[in-house]
Structure 1
Amino acid sequence: MAGGSFGPTGVAKERAEQYQGKVTGYVIIACLVAAIGGSIFGYDVGISGGVTSMDEFLEEFFHSVYEKKKHAHESNYCKYDDQGLAAFTSSLYLAGLVSTLVASPITRNYGRRASIVCGGISFFLGAALNAGAVNLAMLLAGRILLGIGIGFGNQAVPLYLSEVAPTHLRGGLNMMFQLATTLGIFTANMVNFGTQKLKPWGWRLSLGLAAFPALLMTLGGFLLPETPNSLVERGLTERGRRVLEKLRGTKNVNAELQDMVDASELANSIKHPFRNILQKRHRPQLVMAICMPMFQILTGINSILFYAPVLFQTMGFGGNASLYSSALTGAVLVLSTLVSIALVDRLGRRALLISGGLQMIICQVIVAVILGVKFGDNQELSKGYSIVVVIFICLFVIAFGWSWGPLGWTIPSEIFPLETRSAGQSITVAVNLLFTFIIAQAFLSLLCAFKFGIFLFFAGWVSVMTIFVYFLLPETKGVPIEEMTLLWKKHWFWKKILPETNPETNHEAEAERNNETNTNSSV
């Protein structure tokens, strides 16, 4: 294979036009199995809100909320305002935040499959513990195990999908993770609708069924091939070649493999990727790894998906009606994600993010106006206005489903060079889980304090992030994952931030490699 001199990205030249291959059944099956990891995340997002609205669950674990819910004089916006109940939902994401940092070195040193298997086992144990919980301590312990599973799964699965997918279809195939997440949410809503009738133990079945996707994820992790990138990074180049040939359906994979080899040589010279990722030459990717998942959560989508039944009951919908409405939002989220998969590699990432952001702003403002004018502390919405609210919430969810939902994961997973890829994905997941934890813990209190203004609060954030994308995010459609760093050098803003890329002047990259070499020699 032809060699080349290293640039700061770890690849010698742009070789994208030499990549060959097609979409094989091997790729599709690998992506489908890996994306099941998204379903466990989605299932928990959907199941939590339904369970916390069930009277039998509240009476057993959160009796004060159960009593407050029954009092007619209590403000509609404040009936569920309880920090303990919020902690039931949010504790999972705090555990996930910690575990994803542990998952990063495992993903890098032992492969993507290892983290997928660890995540599946932990989630399975957490689901079993939740289903059999007899006190709050057992319930929270189960949630923590679920969080560990999500931390590992969310760290490894998007990375796996990005590395397995062919460049020209990477966006669509990577979105299998988001599609599985939305299917998990929809399934959870359907399960909640059925189990609410199985009194008094229906909530146990809802929580326990999370073990099923966890089992599929664990088995899939054992059966999946490791990604070629990970094999090459760990020195198993010939094995990586064989896997790459199967994935691409051709023996002519020299160009793509050479990019992986070049990138892995630099990656293996960097023993501290978290320190390396702070360097100026990685600044654009680091900003995206922080801002994309943060903005994804600040759309307010998790508040709607976590607490959909609670939110709709707050608006005056009955128990059955609220679950119907939340199931509807789950269904439209699945359909809109399919739209995104079909369009992302045609229209590009920026077009979907900006159009989705504008639609979300309009929908949230309209919902806030309706609730502000027609819905008070102790009055219910009329049937007509209730239908309008559900329609605009569904339109909001549709916009999220084709834009920030999948792309909030896709873009960070595809922009990092190999030497910082696992660290970058860990930062992405950690930021996502941090803000998920914050919003999950604070939402019920914010709803009580802001009332209808909660939708304006999130609309303001959507406005900020849409402007951010317009000015600062370059289009990543069709750019090979191993050559993504070259994109930032052409961007009007980021090219001013990046250091010189001439090998003679790229002191920062060389200094890092020298430091690593000196450290290793002294050891």
Structure 2
Amino acid sequence: MAGGVIVADSGGKQYHSHVTAYVIVTCIVAATGGLMFGYDIGISGGVTSMDEFLSKFFPSVYRKSKDVTSDTNQYCKFDSQLLTLFTSSLYLAALVASFIASTISRVFGRKVTMFGGGIMFLAGSLLNGFAQNVAMLIAGRILLGIGVGFANQAVPLYLSEMAPPHIRGALNIAFQLAITTGILIANLLNYGLSKMERNGWRWSLGLAAIPALIMSIGAIFLPDTPNSFIQRGQNDKARQVLQNIRGTEDVNNEFEDLLEASEVARLVTNPWGNILRSQYRPQLVITLLIAFFQQLTGINVIMFYAPVLFKTLGFGDDASLMAAVITGLVNMFSTLVSLFTVDKFGRRILFLQGGIQMIICQLVVGSMIAAEFGTSGQGDFSRSAGNVTITFICLYVAGFAWSWGPLAWLVPSEIFPLEIRSAGQSINVSVNMLFTFIIGQVFLTLLCHMKFGLFYFFGGFVIIMTIFVYFFVPETKNAPIDEMNKVWKAHWFWARFIPDNAAGLGQRKSSTYTPLV
């Protein structure tokens, strides 16, 4: 049984599993749902910096961006609520869609939800590519948002439920890797298509149809998860899929635990009401705060508006788009660090190290901008100051990419018990999308009014969230997804909320994870 592991517990049960090609392929295909999200994050900022796009849809912003008079305030050149609505409307739609997706995911399964997300995203990309006015742009963004809400609801759950416990972190982070890959592809396309004399922005927006097609077609051929089959009363299919993804027919112990978790889930007729019960307090609080803090790192300021931000700092059109490509490359390759370390070193150490790195970088970037522009917003970055600023922005992106980027999707998807898992993931997605919308909508206005202090503002939240992780987020690596109550029961603070008879406790108070020889 080389290449597998035994998960043994003090109650005498053992889970046998291998890292099979079957589970790897299915998780990679599912994770491509992140391409849609990432492509949109990357493409919107580049498109809003293209002159043809701005002059057609936002002429007042275009005129202000070309104003080179001496009294031009660099901080305020792109301040427009209508322009930011183009970016942020997607996330408001995703927030609402995530609640609908929760019910669809629970009743019809994860793969149906992913397929629906791909189709909606495809429709939105086509509408944006052929847009003739702002109304068509916003309508397309709303359809894209529904697709993102569905995909972000279903894909992390799918990955957590399919993966063996000892590589669950790595396979789940494949979703974040797909997001960063989508951002990089979008940045590269923006750089190339911006050189077209006409309609480069149409190609940038319309090519979002490609990741949507990959997601839709892939979902057709994917199996659903064992948990989802059991939840819908299809136990034979659940056992077959479990045997396929574990690479062995000896899945009785794990299958029994899944059935036990499902029986508990069936007793819960109102997951939205039950999630407020005290025994689910640890999962709910941690999910709410992780989703909130992820957006208050300020990362989407960089991802959404990288070209606009770099143009604000005095970079030319080509240089600003190339700087966005560089940050996209850093983002993607840094995510690989998390992929290979999360199941070895655990979630907490990445959260903490990434937080410290981001704090330092935000202080440096804010100070560099303050030194060059001051509070007046007038002047130009010197070449050396610009290079230093880009370097620390890249270090900031790297710290996020191997910590709060992937872990904010991984941890909430693995900590909820089956009976409230879909509801919990919806809360994760909706809080994330709500604050993504808020930050996306107000960033350019905040930059205009808070100036360089905006980077200190986000840095302050990173300090708070790093302290929160240190005291209140337990380590979840290697813990079987339906035995997670043991993690809370062992925590100094959260143990008080977990009843002694909670599912997954019983006589099995602790688990060990021993590699097969």
What is the TM-score with the length of structure 2 in the denominator? 0.94
Which amino acid in structure 1 is aligned with residue 422 of structure 2?
S
- Percent identical: 57
| AA matched with 1:500 | P
The residue that corresponds to 1:302 in the other structure is 300
Residues 416-441 of structure 1: CA deviation (Å, up to 9, x unaligned): 00000000000000000000000000
Match of 2:173 in 1: 175
Provide the residue aligned with 1:208 in structure 2.
206
Q: Which residue of 1 aligns with 2:515?
A: none
Residue identity matched to 2:493: F
Aligned twin of 2:43: 47
**C-alpha distance in 1, partners of 2:456/2:168?**
35
Instruction: Go from structure 1 to structure 2 and tell me whether the alpha carbon gap of 1:16 and 1:434 turns closer, same or farther (over 3 Å shift).
Output: farther
Q: CA 1:447–1:480 in 2, change beyond 3 Å: closer, same or farther?
A: same
SS at match of 2:116: helix
The answer as to 2:27 corresponding to 1:31 is yes
User: Does the CA-based 8 Å contact 1:123-1:147 persist in structure 2?
Assistant: yes
Residue 501 of structure 1 deviates from its aligned partner by 2.1
Partner of 2:466: 466
Shift of 1:271: 1.6
Confirm or deny: 8 A CA contact 1:14 1:483 kept in the other structure: no
Q: 1:499 and 1:403 mapped to 2: Cα distance?
A: 28
The 3-state SS of whatever aligns with 2:500 is coil
Give the distance between the partners of 1:476 and 1:45, measured in 2 at CA: 29
Q: Compute the displacement of 1:199 (Å).
A: 2.2
Gaps of 5+ in 1: 1-12, 507-523
RMSD: 1.3
| Cα separation, 2, equivalents of 1:118 and 1:316 | 42
Q: Measure the CA separation in 2 of the matches of 1:105 and 1:271.
A: 12
Alignment-derived partner of residue 3 in structure 1:
none
Q: Cα distance, 1:17 vs. partner? A: 5.9
- Residues of 1 paired with 2:306 and 2:116: CA distance? 30
Q: Which residue of 2 aligns with 1:131?
A: 129
- CA-to-partner distance for each residue in 1:147-197, whole Å, 9 max, x for gaps? 000000000000000001100000010000000000000000000001101
Q: Look up the SS of the partner of 1:307 in the other structure.
A: helix
5 Å matches for 1:359-378? 359-376=357-374, 377-378=377-378
Letter in 2 for 1:61: F
**Per the alignment, do residues 365 and 219 of structure 1 end up closer, same or farther by CA in structure 2, a change over 3 Å counting?**
same
1:86 — aligned with what? 84
The SS at the match of 2:16 is coil
Q: Deviations over 1:324-349 (max 9, x none)?
A: 11100000111110010100001100
Please list, as runs of the form range in 1=range in 2, the aligned pairs for 1:180-199 lying within 5 A after superposition: 180-199=178-197
3-state DSSP class of the match of 1:477? coil
Q: Distance in 1 between matches of 2:291 and 2:173?
A: 15
Deviations 1:102-123 (A, max 9, x none): 0001000100001000000000
- Give the structure 1 partner of residue 63 of structure 2: 67
- The farther-off stretch of 228-237 and 116-125 is 228-237
Aligned length: 491
Corresponding residue SS for 2:17: coil
> Aligned partner of 2:85: which letter?
A
Structure-to-structure mapping, 1:1-16, within 5 angstroms: none
Contact 1:345 1:477 in 2 (8 A): yes
* Paired letter, 1:487: V
1:333 is matched by which residue type in structure 2? N
Give 1:200 shift. Answer: 2.1
- How far does residue 14 in structure 1 lie from its aligned partner after superposition? 6.9
Out of 120, 123, 136, the position equivalent to 1:122 is: 120
* Structure-2 change in CA distance of 1:385 and 1:292 (3 Å): same
Q: Give me the whole-angstrom Cα distance separating, in 2, the residues matched to 1:375 and 1:24.
A: 55
Q: Does the aligned pair in 2 maintain the 1:15–1:255 contact within 8 Å?
A: no
Larger deviation, residues 418-427 vs 70-79: 70-79
TM-score, structure 1 normalization: 0.93
Partner amino acid, structure 2, of 1:42: G
The C-alpha deviation readout for 1:300-345, integer Å capped at 9, x for no partner, is: 0001000000000000011111111110000011111001010000
Is 1:495 aligned to residue 485 of structure 2? no
How many Å apart are 1:51 and its aligned residue? 0.3
* Match of residue 10 from structure 1: none
Q: Which amino acid aligns with 1:403?
A: S
Alignment match, 2:328: 330
Shift of the alpha carbon at 1:15? 6.5
Q: Note if contact 2:489-2:498 (Cα within 8 Å) is conserved in structure 1.
A: no
Q: What is the DSSP-based 3-state SS (H/G/I as helix, E as strand, rest coil) of the residue aligned with 1:129?
A: helix
Task: Determine the C-alpha separation between the residues in 1 that align with 2:48 and 2:329.
Answer: 20
State the alpha-carbon separation in 2 of the partners of residues 249 and 303 from structure 1.
43
**Residue deviations 1:23-49 (CA, integer Å, cap 9, x gap):** 111111101100010110000000000
Distance 1:14 1:418, change over 3 A: farther
Where does residue 394 of structure 1 map in the other structure?
A: 394
Task: Name stretches of at least 5 consecutive residues in structure 2 with no aligned partner.
Answer: 1-8, 506-517
